[in-house]
Chains A and B, each alone.
Chain A
C-alpha cells in the first residue's frame, strides 16, 4: 500500500519515489544544492569569523564592552578629562553589572618615549595588571621578559614592534614624558620589563604599559583615572539590545556624576556600521549564489515534468485536480531541497568543525590583514542567522522557482498529453 497517512502523506511518498526514478538527474540537482548551501554556510562562517576577529581585536584593543569616561575624553584625550573618584563610581555601578563582569581602571594619555637615540610618540597606559586578564590583550602572557607587577615603580611593558623600532631590548631604560593636569611637562624613567604581542603591529607600536599608581603619581592626579572599562563575561555575543539596555541603566545611575557610559558599538561606530550591513551583504550574496543554482533547479524540474507529461494527463483524467498536481511537484522539489540542505549542512559542519578547526592562517597576507584590522588566523564562526539564512534562501527561493515547472505540470490537460504522445 502507498505509505503515509492522508493525502499529504501519499503525495510525499509518491514524490520521494519520483525523485529516484532518475537517480542521476536527482543526484545532479542534489549536488548543486549541496555545493550551494554548504559553500554559503562555510564561506559565511569564515566571513563572520573574520568580522568577529576584527571586532574582538578592536574590543580587546583597550576598548572593552562598556566604558565609563568623561564625555569629552573621546574628543580631547587629555588627563584633565579624568574621573577623579573612580572607586565611588565603580561601587555605584558594580551592583548593576552581571556576575562574572570584569572591571579595569586605566589612565591613557599621549606621551613621548625616548631613548638615547630615538623619540617616539606613544600612548602611555597606566594599568593594574591584575585587572586586565579577560579585559584586554595586555592581560595575556607577555611575549618576552615579564609583566609589570602591581604598583611596580619603574617597570614598563611595550610592544615587540616598538622595541624593534627603537632598537632596544628588555632591561634597557627609557624615559616617558607627558603633561600633567596643569599642562606641565612631566617625565620619568622606566626599565623595559617585557614585551607583548598584539594582533596588529600598529597596536604594538602605540601602547606602552606602566603601573597605574605610578602613572597617577607621575601625572599628579591622585586616584584619578581616565576610563573605567567593563567587560561582560558573555563576551560580544548576545549583545545588541541587552548591552544597550545595560548602558542606559548605567547612564541613568551615573547621570549626576558628569561621566558617561558607552558600549563598544558607540565607541567603534565604523565597525558597528559594518556589522549592521554584514547580514545584508550575506543575504545578497546568498541570493546571488542561489540564482545560479535556481536556473539548474528550474531546468531540471522542467525536464522531469515534460518527461512525465503523460502521467500528469492520466492523473487529471482520473480526477485529480490541477492544484493537487502542482502540490505533488512542489512536494518533490521540497523533498529535494530538504534532503540537499540536510546533506549540505552536514558537509558544512564537518568542514567548519573538523577541517577548519584550527582556522586559516593568513600570515602570508600580513600587510592586507593589518590594513583591515583582521586577525592573523581566521577562525570560522558559524552563526544561527547565517545557517538559517543560507538554508532559508535556498528553500524559499527554491520553492518559488519550482512553482514554474509545478504550475506547468498542473496546466497539462489529459487531451493535450494524449495528443502529444
Chain B
C-alpha cells in the first residue's frame, strides 16, 4: 500500500512537486528530449492546464506526475511521495489510492458496464460492497448518466464514455485527477459540458485537476496555465 512509500520533507499544500525533471526518448538512432529541466509545483485544489503544441512534452510531464513513467533526471513528488524512491508496485498502489486518470480515448474496459467500470477501481481498493454500490450510483448520477448504469461502452456515445471515465477517475476521491486531452475526441458542446462538470467537481470536492491539452476551451476553464515548449516551461500564468 501507499503507506510503504518513502516520504520526504513537508510540502505543505503543494500536492505535486516537479524538480528539474528531464526525460529523453530514443527510437532507433533518433534521440528526443521530451522534457528538459522542468520544475513545477501544483497546490491542492488547483485546476491546471499543461498547454503547448504537439511534442512540447505535456503528456510526458503528465505521465511523470502520474508515476506512469520515471524521469531520467530530477525528481517528481506527489503528496510527499518521491517516485524515484518507490518500486513499480508501490507506484501502482499510489496511483490506485491517490490519482484518478482520464485519457483522450476514454479507455473503458469493454466487457464491463458503465457502473462496473466505475466500480472496478473501488473493487481494487477493496471498498465494501454497499459503499461501492452507493458511491457508483451517486457519481454516475452526478455526471448525468442516471439511465446508463448498465450500458456497455459500445452502447454509449463518446461524450458519455468520457463521463464514465471521469466518474471512474473521481469515484475514489483521489488527491489528483490527471486528464490527458480529455476533450480531444469530443465535439465542442460535449467537451464544454464535460469541463463544466469537472470544474464543479474541482470546486465541490477540492480535487486537484491537471490537464494536458492544446484545446483553447480547456485553457479557458483552467485557473492556471503552464505553457510548455520544446520540453521546457515557457510560461506559467494563474488567472484571477
Is the C-beta of A187 less than 8 angstroms from some C-beta in chain B? no
The contact size tier of chain A is 20 to 34
Question: Which A residues lie within 8 Å of B92 (CB)?
Answer: 316, 319-322
A43 to chain B, nearest CB (A): 37
Complex: how many Å from CA A322 to CA B93?
11
Is the C-beta of A214 less than 8 angstroms from some C-beta in chain B? no
Within 8 A of A (CB), among B105-136: 105, 107, 109-112, 115-116, 119-121, 123-124, 126, 129, 132-133, 136
Question: Which B residues lie within 8 Å of A415 (CB)?
Answer: 63, 68-69
Q: Are A317 and B101 in contact (CB under 8 A)?
A: yes
Supposing A1-B116, A2-B123, A7-B123 touch, asked if A318 and B111 sit within 8 A by C-beta, the answer is: no
Supposing A318-B95, A319-B95, A319-B124 touch, asked if A21 and B115 sit within 8 A by C-beta, the answer is: no
Looking across the interface, which residue of chain B has its beta carbon closest to that of A20? B111
Query: Which one of A10-18, A196-204, A376-384 contacts B?
Result: A10-18
Interface centre among B93, B103, B123 (most CB of A within 10 A): B123
Is the C-beta of B97 less than 8 angstroms from some C-beta in chain A? yes
Q: Are B95 and A317 in contact (CB under 8 A)?
A: yes
Looking across the interface, which residue of chain B has its beta carbon closest to that of A310? B107
Q: Are A21 and B95 in contact (CB under 8 A)?
A: no
Looking across the interface, which residue of chain B has its beta carbon closest to that of A421? B105
Complex: how many Å from CA A29 to CA B94?
38
Is the C-beta of B88 less than 8 angstroms from some C-beta in chain A? yes
Q: Are A322 and B119 in contact (CB under 8 A)?
A: no
Question: Which B residues lie within 8 Å of A17 (CB)?
Answer: 111-112
From DSSP, what is the main secondary structure of chain A's interface residues?
A: helix
Complex: how many Å from CA A411 to CA B129?
30
Is the C-beta of A279 less than 8 angstroms from some C-beta in chain B? no
Q: Are A320 and B68 in contact (CB under 8 A)?
A: no
Looking across the interface, which residue of chain A has its beta carbon closest to that of B106? A314
Complex: how many Å from CA A118 to CA B64?
102
Complex: how many Å from CA A323 to CA B93?
12
Question: Which B residues lie within 8 Å of A2 (CB)?
Answer: 112, 116, 119-120, 123
Is the C-beta of A311 less than 8 angstroms from some C-beta in chain B? yes
Supposing A2-B123, A7-B123 touch, asked if A317 and B111 sit within 8 A by C-beta, the answer is: no
Interface centre among A7, A14, A418 (most CB of B within 10 A): A418
Interface residues of chain B, those whose CB is within 8 Å of chain A, are 59, 63, 66, 68-69, 88-89, 92-97, 99, 101, 103, 105, 107, 109-112, 115-116, 119-121, 123-124, 126, 129, 132-133, 136, 168
Q: Which 8 A-B pairs have the closest CB atoms?
A: A319-B96, A17-B111, A319-B95, A314-B107, A414-B68, A415-B69, A321-B92, A2-B116
Given contacts A1-B115, A17-B111, 6 further A-B contacts (CB under 8 A): A1-B116, A318-B101, A318-B168, A319-B95, A321-B92, A322-B92
